[in-house]
Each structure stands twice: as C-alpha cells, then as structure tokens.
Amino acid sequence: MSLLFRITENKKAALHPEVIGLCPSLGALDDKEILYVILAYDYNSPYRQFPEHERKRKAMWDAFEENENDLINSSRILAAADDYLSLQYSRKVETARSYEKKIDRLLSLLEEDDSPTSIKKITEAVEGLRKQLSGLEKEIDEDYQKKGVIKGNMTLSFLEDLQSNRKNYLSVIAK
C-alpha cells in the first residue's frame, strides 16, 4: 500500500510521479491546489471525519488561507479532484460515506418529528445503519491490512519498506 502523495512540513504536497502519469489533470495544479485536493478528498485526510462541506472549507483554509468558493470551483480543480478520487476509489469506503449521509439525514428528520411511531422507525433505521457501517468499517480496515503483504520481484512493498526503516532505526539506536 503505497501513498499517492506526501506532504512536507511547510505544507507542500508532492504527488507520486505515477499519479501524474495516470491523471495529467493533477499535474496542471500548483502546490496549493494539490494540497487542497488531497486534504479535501483523500480517504485518509485529517479532515475525513467531517461532512463534505466542512472538509472542503477546512482544506481550503489550510491550502489557500482563505475561504472563497471561487478558488475551488474552477474546472481545473474539479477535474483534478475527480481524477484523484478515481485513483483511490473503494466501493466499501463510498458505501460507508453513503451510510453516514443517510444517518445525518435521518437524524435531522428526527429533530423535526414529534410522532412516537415515526421517531421509533427513524431510531431503528439509524441503529441498523450504524451496525452496517460498523461492519463495513471493520472490512475496510482489514482490506488496508491485506494491502501490506510482502511482494517478490526484488522490489520492496510498503510493509517491507516499513520493516527496513524499523531495522535501520533499531541499529542506529543500538549504537
């Protein structure tokens, strides 16, 4: 499991070279725009727990230090964001996001409703979706762990690279 990008300490984003080869629209963006796309759309973004509009707002502030929608609504950024999403697409993650949106909609309905039977139906639906979501998140975590298997062909996989880093670290500490 290798990463599509890396972010430096001074908030500069660097995409993996193969990423730009697959999706030239990402190569057309400047550093701030790439940082925005990563923070707003990556499955493992630090803002992943926020709703989509909030995630975009926070990413916009981190990347541009402004909250102007004109910055992110350009066709270049929207096309690059779509390409970025296609590179990391996971049906399970998208289904989990869909469940979260449905739970949010049901909870907003619950706030407005006063009928006891309707409230009961909504709470049961939310409870069922949360169970499904929990199981799906467990499957997603298992899938990420499976991606770290060791590969042959004289190349280091993500897991092998981590093991090598740890071995080097321990040898430096031992001295």
Record the tokens describing residue 5, joined without a space: 């990008």
Give the pTM: 0.71
Residue 156 gets which letter from DSSP? -
CA 70 vs CA 26, 28, 52, 75: distances in Å? 19, 18, 17, 11
| pLDDT one-digit tens code per residue, 35-44 | 999 999 988 8
CB burial of residue 141 (10 Å; 0-12, 13-18, 19+) = exposed
> pLDDT tens digits, residue range 120-152?
999 999 999 999 999 999 998 887 776 655 455
